[in-house]
Amino acid sequence: MKLYQQVATEVEKAFSATGLTEHPIVLQPAKNRDFGDYQINGVMGAAKKTRQNPRELAQKVADALQENPLIATAEVAGPGFINLHLRPEKLAQYIKSALQDDHLGITHSSEPQTIVIDYSSPNLAKEMHVGHLRSSIIGDSLNRVLSFLGHKVIAQNHVGDWGTQFGMLVAYLTEQQQNGRADLELADLEQFYRNAKIRFDEDENFANTAREYVVKLQSGEASVLALWQQFVQTSLQHAQAVYQKLGLKLLPTDVTGESFYNDQLQPTVNELLAKGIAVDSDGTKVVFLEEFKNQDDEPMPFIIQKKDGGFLYASTDLACVRYRINTLHGNRLLYVVDARQSLHFQELFTVARKAGWLPESVLAEHVSFGTMMGKDGKPFKTRSGDTVKLLDLLNEAVTRASALVASKNPDLSPAEIAHIGHAVGIGAVKYADLSKNRTSDYIFDWDSMLSFEGNTAPYLQYAYTRVQSVFRKAETWDKNSEISLNEPLEQQLAVELLKFEDILNSVADTTYPHYLAAYLYQIATLFSRFYEACPILKTDEATRNSRLQLASLTGKTLQQGLALLGIDTLETM
Ligand code: ARG
């Protein structure tokens, strides 16, 4: 149900009938619901261009909307706005068909794409920390929304599993195996890394072994590769435990790490040299980008191979673009990576386009996001200033939420508390992130994210249980009876429910999940106003059945919408 498109089509017809074929209608959801459902703002601009009186012109457009099948009233206001109310009987009919469809009346994209989403992508040398949270949950939500709209989504977990640090880690692993302490040490990767680094810094022999291991790794020596494998597998298991706790869609098979591109790096560099896009500058292979200037107004260098033959993050990403286009056949590439890498991605896409690897028809987007801050306004850290392990953070969320649930509802069994606490705790962490515009930094604050009031996961989860409790009380009712929307609040809720597909499409186009969050908050707020003003159960039979259907679509929309943000709903809490 593309409600916006339906209304826009009617308004465009009215514009044409008034002789305004070339003018944008500028249709928007009404700012104040009491004045209408939608608002046309395009008449003033059209009047100016055609030298007409705006209010008179607006009246002509409004007249052309009389007796419209979708629009009940069109009223001119202010200097030439037009407020539109939709026909309640039409809304009722749409609500009915949404309820009868198990996809809530949401159509699959008419042009399904193959969309490759790079997200989570932690470096495996260390444990996952809070810095990986945003990419993981934003990427997961985009994956869910785009899949729901019928696209083929290929998740790519571009883990950092290659590079010089792995020489050090593997050297340390060998030592610990000799001591019989390998398993113990691997249990805490953060500590493992720190210990390896200490050995590297204080023991020259160890450092030399580590350097040799880097060379052996790159030349593919089997025994060293096996050790590296062992380390990487352990680290991936740690990551998988985090994904499970978070309830992400990411699977072990979605891992295509940096090492995967190893044998493609030299051919990639060679091709850029052969095409004259990269040059040899004193042994370093570089692409100079005229499009990007440094402070001295010189073209920025995009380095793809070091003097010593070593490759870089950029070289891997170039090989990776080719793979995503040629092998995965992506039509759209999304990279959910923090804002600090924005120049890297702009340069990457520019080079890939120059090389002809990234066709114009393919959209490549850096889905960038800001930093998670502590309450002190500085990047989120532990009290002692260390990075916070992601698993610890998630455990704390569940513990805090469980305590909250137990205090609100002392009669619950420990198993129920654990179940609800998990959904609320993880939901709160995800929603606090997904409800904000991803491009800005945001303050991570336990109290506000776990609050049952305001735009939070607990509020929405609770709103859902309220809807469900109506159905428990109702017991029997007639799903097939007529829907009639007589009260303004019924109509407003109906209009909002019918915007679901428009909202999902805007999330898909812009890659901003907070549009969906804001929408669900609207639905919950409107439902609660409707619920207070319009009795659902204690009223005549026909009204009761009609209102229960509206409540039913509200529940389904909240549940589906939260699911698309990766958040679980509960029947009671
Ligand atoms: N591993 C990188 C990091 O932690 C992120 C990788 C993002 N994806 C990519 N294709 N560059 O910063």
Whether 335 contacts 365, CB under 8 Å: yes
For the chain, the helix, strand and coil percentages under 3-state DSSP, each to the nearest 5: 55, 15, 30
Find tokens 């040490």 and name the residue: 185
Centre of ligand 1 from the C-alpha of residue 319, in Å: 14
Q: 286 Cβ partners below 8 Å, 6+ apart? A: 278, 279, 301, 302, 303, 304
pLDDT, one tens digit per residue, over 389-447 is: 999 999 999 999 999 999 999 999 999 999 999 999 999 999 999 999 999 999 999 99
Centre of ligand 1 from the C-alpha of residue 207, in Å: 26
Whether 198 contacts 191, CB under 8 Å: no
Q: 558 Cβ partners below 8 Å, 6+ apart? A: 460, 463, 464, 467, 520, 523, 524, 569
Centre of ligand 1 from the C-alpha of residue 200, in Å: 25
Angle of CA points 115, 163, 338, to nearest 5°: 45
Q: pTM for the complete prediction? A: 0.96
C-beta of 321 in contact with ligand 1 (< 6 A): no
Q: What average pLDDT does the segment 497-521 reach?
A: 98
Centre of ligand 1 from the C-alpha of residue 256, in Å: 11
Q: What average pLDDT does the segment 199-215 reach?
A: 95
pLDDT, one tens digit per residue, over 546-569 is: 999 999 999 999 999 999 999 999
SS3 (DSSP) at 286: strand
- For the beta carbon of residue 41, count every other beta carbon within 10 angstroms: 15
Instruction: Give the pLDDT of residue 508.
Output: 98
Whether 320 contacts 335, CB under 8 Å: no
Q: Which atom, in ligand 1's list, is nearest to the CA of 313? A: 11
Q: Is 475's pLDDT higher than 90? A: no
Centre of ligand 1 from the C-alpha of residue 281, in Å: 27
Find tokens 């009491």 and name the residue: 34
Distances in Å between the Cα of 183 and the Cα atoms of 125, 176, 177, 392 are 16, 8, 8, 20
**Residues paired with residue 82 on neighbouring β-strands, in sequence order:** 40, 76
Band (385; pLDDT cuts 50, 70, 90): confident
Of 544, 482, 543, which is closest to residue 91 (Cα–Cα)?
Answer: 482
C-beta of 121 in contact with ligand 1 (< 6 A): yes
As a whole number, the mean pLDDT across the chain is 96
C-beta of 333 in contact with ligand 1 (< 6 A): no
User: Which residue among 258, 341, 342 has the greatest number of ligand 1 atoms within 8 angstroms of its CB, and so is best to mutate?
Assistant: 341
Centre of ligand 1 from the C-alpha of residue 365, in Å: 14
Centre of ligand 1 from the C-alpha of residue 315, in Å: 13
Distances in Å between the Cα of 107 and the Cα atoms of 101, 373, 460, 502 are 10, 39, 25, 11
Q: What average pLDDT does the segment 185-211 reach?
A: 94
pLDDT, one tens digit per residue, over 238-256 is: 999 999 999 999 999 999 9
Centre of ligand 1 from the C-alpha of residue 337, in Å: 7
Q: Which atom, in ligand 1's list, is nearest to the CA of 345? A: 11
C-beta of 335 in contact with ligand 1 (< 6 A): yes
C-beta of 123 in contact with ligand 1 (< 6 A): yes
Q: What average pLDDT does the segment 484-491 reach?
A: 97
Centre of ligand 1 from the C-alpha of residue 442, in Å: 21
DSSP class of residue 247 equals T
Q: What average pLDDT does the segment 470-488 reach?
A: 95
Whether 453 contacts 462, CB under 8 Å: no
- The residue nearest atom 4 of ligand 1, judged by CA position, is 122
ipTM score: 0.99
Separation of alpha carbons 377 and 524, rounded Å = 30
pLDDT, one tens digit per residue, over 101-144 is: 999 999 999 999 999 999 999 999 999 988 899 999 999 999 99
C-beta of 90 in contact with ligand 1 (< 6 A): no
Centre of ligand 1 from the C-alpha of residue 303, in Å: 17
Whether 330 contacts 256, CB under 8 Å: no
Separation of alpha carbons 503 and 56, rounded Å = 33
Instruction: Give the pLDDT of residue 302.
Output: 97
Separation of alpha carbons 202 and 533, rounded Å = 73
Whether 98 contacts 1, CB under 8 Å: yes
Instruction: Give the pLDDT of residue 346.
Output: 97
Centre of ligand 1 from the C-alpha of residue 137, in Å: 15
Centre of ligand 1 from the C-alpha of residue 406, in Å: 40
DSSP class of residue 258 equals G
pLDDT, one tens digit per residue, over 29-79 is: 999 999 999 999 999 999 999 999 999 999 999 999 999 999 999 999 999
Separation of alpha carbons 300 and 226, rounded Å = 39
Q: Which residue type sits at 409?
A: N
C-beta of 259 in contact with ligand 1 (< 6 A): no
C-beta of 366 in contact with ligand 1 (< 6 A): no
C-beta of 317 in contact with ligand 1 (< 6 A): yes
Tokens at 69, concatenated: 């099948």
Separation of alpha carbons 449 and 427, rounded Å = 9
Q: Is 234's pLDDT higher than 90? A: yes
Q: Is 384's pLDDT higher than 90? A: no
Q: Is 15's pLDDT higher than 90? A: yes
Instruction: Give the pLDDT of residue 70.
Output: 98
Separation of alpha carbons 164 and 103, rounded Å = 49
SS3 (DSSP) at 373: strand
Band (294; pLDDT cuts 50, 70, 90): confident
Q: Which atom, in ligand 1's list, is nearest to the CA of 132? A: 4
C-beta of 160 in contact with ligand 1 (< 6 A): yes
C-beta of 337 in contact with ligand 1 (< 6 A): yes
* Structural domains of the chain, ranges and CATH numbers in brackets: 3-86 (3.30.1360.70), 164-250 (no CATH)
Centre of ligand 1 from the C-alpha of residue 119, in Å: 8
Instruction: Give the pLDDT of residue 383.
Output: 82
Q: Is 268's pLDDT higher than 90? A: yes
User: Which residue among 337, 348, 369, 387 has the greatest number of ligand 1 atoms within 8 angstroms of its CB, and so is best to mutate?
Assistant: 337
pLDDT, one tens digit per residue, over 304-331 is: 999 999 999 999 999 999 999 999 999 9
Q: What average pLDDT does the segment 210-221 reach?
A: 92
Q: Which atom, in ligand 1's list, is nearest to the CA of 320? A: 10
